[in-house]
Chains A and B, each alone.
Chain A
Amino acid sequence: MSYNTENTLLYVENLSVAYGDKVVLKDVNFVEKDVIREDKVTGQVIAFVGRSGRGKSTLFRALTGLVKPTSGKILIADVASKTENDAKQVLEGDVGFVDQKYTLFRNKTVVQALEFALRNKNLSKEEKSTKIKNYLAEWGLEKVKNQYPSELSGGQRQRTAIIEQIFCSGHYVVLDEPFSGLDVGNIQDVKNAFNLMSASHEFNTIIYSTHDIELAAELADSIYVIGYPTIDGKRADFGTIVKHIDMKERGLAWKDFGLDHIEIVKEIKAAMLSS
């Protein structure tokens, strides 16, 4: 499928994160650009895979500004700037974050949570209300709009958490293992949520981690493997990117899962096992 890339949306350079003396991530470098396809709004879907304890969650906390990098920088597109292709250092709240438990405010209903997410936006009360109404209808949350998180199903919680982050942070959402522990129906719900988000704005960028390699190969247009690198024949004890598979370049992005995807899965598994 033909595509072009334009503005840089995510730029990570020499990123390292340490907790005290323990270096968790080191020398992480990657760039993601806006993918343009003809006649179709296409956001970016980026998957991170890797064995447990390799630093995926730490990378996500750094990407969302929740943890300060020890060194290196993370830049995202500054959509508020009038200069084209302008970038800014990521700060808390710039990149939305949906954790594995789909955490929401326990004392806010779906509508209250979405209103809160829009509190700093420069929109009138009516505009906010219309925006919330549209999203509730589109994402199938109309019926549960006055319910609290404890009264929602896992899928409903997750959709609320994603919309909340889209409202607040704009174009970037990081999801930590969104498919973990979900049944077939819920997985389909998340896939639909990805499609909805991806199709609603060119700049929308979904970054997620998963242990389900097939789902990474099926949904992502860019896959990164995080693992312990082998340096001078020895395996290091910090995480970094050990492999990048650009599904677009390989002609496998935006296609139904097929035999070629299985080959990618094998490739990823091999990279994971050796790191």
Chain B
Amino acid sequence: MKKIFTPFEIVSKNTRWFIILFWILLIVGFWVVSSMIGDTHLFPTPQQVLTGFTELYNEGLVVHTASSLFLCLKAILIAIIISLIFAYLSTIPLIKPIANTLSKLRYLPLTGITFYLAIMISDARVMQVWVLVVFMSTYLTTSLLSMVSAIPQEEFDHARSLQCNRWEVLWEVVIKGRIDHVIEVIRQNLAIVWMMLVTVESILVAAGGLGFLIKNSDKFMNHGRIIALQIVILFVGLSIDFILSYLRKAFFRYSKI
């Protein structure tokens, strides 16, 4: 028992499960109790959340989730292509300043980006995609640039000693040799992207999506629905994270990141 309170102590698998179960029960217990005591409640009761789930399901939760996922996939594909081009070409002295500048643009506020995109794009759905693309590209480029600069000099020397010309070095060491890292970069940036996606969907209301549902629930102060939606968003996000991590390990046996 003392072990679980001692820093750096290694505990058995069963103890680990016991600790996790303990915290889950504590949180659920706190939720149940805090939603029942007093006049004003910060959280809705589990019953309200369950009702929220049922309502949302009947209103097409699955379709809205799929819509958000599709938007996320579309934006991430475009953003990763743009970021990869800049990150890979950053090895060329002429292109390096452009890639670095793109990375620095992450300090630009979203509102400013939205303003300029609104001038150019009229369709709300297209607008959502491009707001996300611009926003994500800056973060992805930053991570990808640090991935490229973290490649040890020995790996470049090794390729050069095997008679690779500079383009082959780029192909073998940076592009082919780091595909698993690219997946990891996407996975790590996904949390920001997923969070932004819901925000973008709720700001620029279009055909639907989880952000649209939150906005609607928020309007009517429906706490049960809001928490139910938060749980759905969290689990969808965690599932994508898990899938990407699984894909990396399954397809790239050598990947030990």
**Chain A interface residues toward B at CB < 8 A:** 61, 64, 66, 92-93, 95-97, 99, 101, 103-107, 116-117, 120, 148-151, 161, 164-165, 168-169
Q: What is the number of contacts between chain A and chain B, taking CB atoms within 8 Å?
A: 62
Stretch at the interface among B12-20, B68-76, B150-158: B150-158
B157-A164 in contact (CB<8A): no
B177 touching A97 by the CB < 8 A rule? no
Number of interface residues of B (CB under 8 A): 21
B219-257 interface mask toward A, CB cutoff 8 Å, 1 = contact, 0 = none? 000000000000000000000000000000000111010
Q: Which residues of A contact B180 (CB under 8 A)?
A: 107
Measured between beta carbons, the chain A residues less than 8 angstroms from B162 are 93, 116-117, 164-165, 168
B154, B157, B162, B172 pick with most chain A CB within 10 angstroms: B162
Cβ–Cβ < 8 Å partners of B159 in chain A: 105
Q: Closest approach, in angstroms, between the C-beta of B156 and any C-beta of chain A?
A: 9
The closest CB in chain A to the CB of B157 belongs to: A66
Establish whether residues A107 and B176, one from each chain, have CB atoms under 8 Å apart when the complex forms.
yes
Contacts of B253 in A (CB 8 A): 148
A-B contact pairs, 22 of them (CB 8 A): A66-B157, A66-B160, A92-B163, A93-B162, A93-B164, A96-B161, A97-B157, A103-B152, A103-B154, A103-B158, A105-B159, A105-B172, A106-B155, A107-B180, A107-B254, A148-B254, A150-B254, A150-B256, A164-B162, A168-B163, A169-B161, A169-B163
Binding site for A on B (CB under 8 A): 152, 154-155, 157-164, 172-173, 176-177, 179-180, 252-254, 256
Bound-complex Cα distance A66 to B164 (A): 12
Give complex CA distance A95, B177 in Å.
23
Q: State in angstroms the CA–CA spacing of A95 and B163 once bound together.
A: 10
Docked-complex contact A99 and B163, CB < 8 angstroms: no
What's the minimum C-beta distance from B146 to chain A, rounded to whole angstroms? Answer: 18
**A105's contact among B152, B158, B179, B256, by CB below 8 Å, is which?**
B158
**Which one of B176, B177, B254 has the greatest number of beta carbons of chain A within 10 Å?**
B254
- Compute how far the CA of A120 lies from the CA of B179 in the bound complex, rounded to whole angstroms: 25
Give the nearest-CB partner of A168 in chain B. Answer: B162
Establish whether residues A149 and B157, one from each chain, have CB atoms under 8 Å apart when the complex forms. no
CB distance from A168 to the nearest CB of B (A): 5
Rounded to whole Å, the gap between the CB of B118 and the closest CB of chain A is 43
Closest-CB distance, A131 to chain B (whole angstroms): 16
Q: In whole Å, how far is B106's beta carbon from the nearest beta carbon of chain A?
A: 29
Given A99-B154, A101-B154, A106:B161 Cβ within 8 A: no
Chain B residues whose C-beta falls within 8 Å of the C-beta of A117 in the assembled complex: 162
Return A160 CB to nearest CB of chain B, in Å.
11
Given A103-B155, A107-B254, A150-B256: A66 in contact with B177 (beta carbons within 8 A): no
**How far is A148 from B98 in the complex, measured between Cα atoms in Å?**
35
Which residues of chain A come closer than 8 Å to B158, judged between CB atoms? 97, 99, 103-105, 161
Closest 7 CB pairs of A and B: A93-B163, A148-B254, A97-B161, A103-B158, A103-B154, A168-B162, A99-B154
Shortest CB-to-CB span from B166 to chain A, Å, is 10
Chain B residues with Cβ below 8 Å from A66 are: 157, 160-161
Closest beta carbon of chain A to B180's beta carbon, Å: 8
Distance in angstroms from A21 CB to nearest chain B CB is 21
Contacts of A93 in B (CB 8 A): 160-164
Select which of A95, A103, A105 is within 8 A of B157 by beta carbon: A103
Complex: chain B residue closest to A92, CB-CB: B160
Chain A's closest residue to B155 (CB) is: A103
Contact yes or no, A165 B161, CB < 8 A: yes
Interface residue from A61, A106, A120, A164 paired with B177 (Cβ < 8 Å): A106
A151 and B163 alpha carbons, distance in the complex (Å):
25
Enumerate chain B residues within 8 angstroms of A148, measured Cβ to Cβ: 253-254
Residue numbers in A under 8 Å from B163 (CB-CB): 92-93, 120, 168-169
Inter-chain CA distance A168–B252, complex, in Å, is 26
Complex contacts, A164 vs chain B, CB 8 Å: 162
Residues of A contacting B161 with CB < 8 Å?
Answer: 64, 66, 92-93, 95-97, 165, 168-169
